[in-house]
C-alpha cells in the first residue's frame, strides 16, 4: 500500500536518488519545475544523487548537463548503468578479460576503469558483449554483438528499458536494441542497472544516507528497483508512466508515494485508509471495486459513486484512493483491474 508521511518528503528523507530521463530532463531540455524543486530540497538539507540507466555518457558529462540547469552536482553524484554493468561483470569474468562494448563512451570508460581489455570486433573472441544505449549504434554494431554471442560470449545489457522519453516524445530505448540482438541469437542477456538493487544501495552508501528516497518515472525500473533495495519510492508523471499504470501496478513495482512532479517533494503525503463498506478513503475521496470496475465518490456522499472514463481527470487524493482500492482487490484474490487512461487534474488540490 501507499505510505504515509506527515511532513514534506524533502525533510523526512535525507537523500533523494533521482532518475534523470523523464524526471530531471527530456533530451537536453529540463523538465518543468525540476531544477527549482531540487534546489529547494537541497536548501533544507536533502542530499541529491542521480541514478540513471543511460550508459552512453560519462558521469562527468551528465553532471555538466545537470549543472547547466543551475543545480550543484559533482561527478561522483552521478551513478550510471555503465558503472553498474562493469561492477557486475567483475563477478562474472577475471580482470583483464576481453570485452566487446556496444555503446557509447561512457560504457567504454567504465569497462576500461574496471580493468577489462576492450576489443572492437567479434573476430577478437571477446569473453563478453556489454550492450548499452547509444544513438549512433548501427546495424554493424548489432551484428558484431550477435556474432560474438553466437560464438559463446556472455551477453550483458546495461538496462532493458524498452523506451525512453526525449524532447520530442517517447523513443526506442536500449531494451529495444537488445531485443534485436536476442532475435539473432536466441539468448537472453544478463542485465545491470535498474531495477537491480545494487545501483541504489551503492549510491546510498556513498552519501552515508539513513533515509533514502528513490524518485522516478518508471514502474519497471525506478520503482521496482526501489522495492528491491527496500527503499521507499516516489513516482512522478513527467516521463513514461501514467496515472492508470500505477493503479494496475503489480506488487513488486508499486510506489510508496505518487506525485504529479517534483513539486510534491514539498508536501506531506497522506496514505489511504480502509473505511466501511469496502471503500478506501484519502482526504475527501473514496474509491472501491464493484463487479470488477473501479468507482469513485466523495466521503460525504458515497452513494453518488461514479465509474471511470477515458481521459478522466482525477485529483491526487482520488488517485491515491484508486490505487489502494485496486491493489487491495487484486491482493485479496480479485481479478486484475484495468482502468481507462486517466490524467491528473493539476488545477485541483488532492
Q: Annotated catalytic sites, by residue?
A: 19, 21
* Residues 236, 242: Cα–Cα separation, whole Å: 9
* Residues 204, 15: Cα–Cα separation, whole Å: 8
Q: Which residues contact 211 (CB under 8 A, 6 or more apart)?
A: 12, 13, 14, 15
Amino acid at each position: 500500500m501507499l505510505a504515509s508521511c506527515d511532513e514534506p518528503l524533502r525533510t523526512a528523507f535525507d537523500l533523494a536518488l533521482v532518475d534523470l530521463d523523464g524526471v530531471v530532463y527530456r533530451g537536453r531540455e529540463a523538465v518543468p519545475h525540476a531544477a527549482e524543486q531540487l534546489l529547494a530540497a537541497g536548501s533544507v538539507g536533502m542530499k541529491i544523487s542521480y541514478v540513471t540507466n543511460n550508459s552512453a555518457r560519462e558521469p562527468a558529462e551528465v553532471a555538466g548537463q545537470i549543472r547547466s540547469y543551475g543545480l550543484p552536482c559533482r561527478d561522483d553524484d552521478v551513478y550510471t548503468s555503465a558503472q553498474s554493468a562493469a561492477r557486475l561483470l567483475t563477478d562474472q569474468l577475471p580482470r583483464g578479460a576481453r570485452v566487446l562494448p556496444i555503446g557509447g563512451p561512457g560504457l567504454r570508460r567504465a569497462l576500461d576503469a574496471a580493468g577489462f581489455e576492450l576489443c572492437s570486433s567479434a573476430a577478437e573472441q571477446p569473453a563478453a558483449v556489454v550492450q548499452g544505449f547509444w544513438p549512433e549504434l548501427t546495424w554493424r554494431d548489432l551484428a558484431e554483438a550477435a556474432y560474438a554471442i553466437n560464438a559463446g560470449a556472455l551477453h550483458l545489457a546495461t538496462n532493458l528499458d524498452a523506451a525512453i522519453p526525449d524532447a520530442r516524445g517517447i523513443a526506442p530505448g536500449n531494451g529495444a536494441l537488445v531485443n534485436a540482438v536476442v532475435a539473432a541469437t536466441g539468448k537472453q542477456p544478463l542485465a545491470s542497472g535498474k531495477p537491480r538493487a545494487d545501483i541504489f544501495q551503492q549510491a546510498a552508501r556513498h552519501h552515508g544516507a539513513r533515509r533514502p528516497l528513490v524518485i522516478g518515472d518508471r514502474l519497471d525500473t525506478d520503482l521496482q528497483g526501489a522495492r528491491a533495495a527496500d527503499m521507499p519510492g516516489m513516482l512522478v508523471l513527467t516521463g513514461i508512466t501514467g496515472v492508470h499504470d500505477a493503479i494496475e501496478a503489480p506488487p513488486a513495482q508499486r510506489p510508496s508515494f505518487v506525485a504529479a512532479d517534483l513539486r510534491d517533494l514539498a508536501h506531506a503525503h497522506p496514505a489511504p485508509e480502509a473505511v466501511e463498506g469496502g471503500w478506501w478513503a484519502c482526504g475527501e475521496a473514496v474509491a472501491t471495486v464493484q463487479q470488477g470496475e473501479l468507482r469513485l465518490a466523495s466521503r460525504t456522499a458515497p452513494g453518488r459513486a461514479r465509474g471511470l472514463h477515458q481521459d478522466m481527470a482525477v485529483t491526487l487524493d482520488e488517485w491515491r484512493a484508486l490505487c489502494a482500492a485496486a491493489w487491495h482487490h487484486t491482493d485479496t484474490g480479485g481479478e486484475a483491474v484495468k482502468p481507462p487512461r486517466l490524467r491528473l487534474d493539476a488545477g485541483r488540490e488532492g
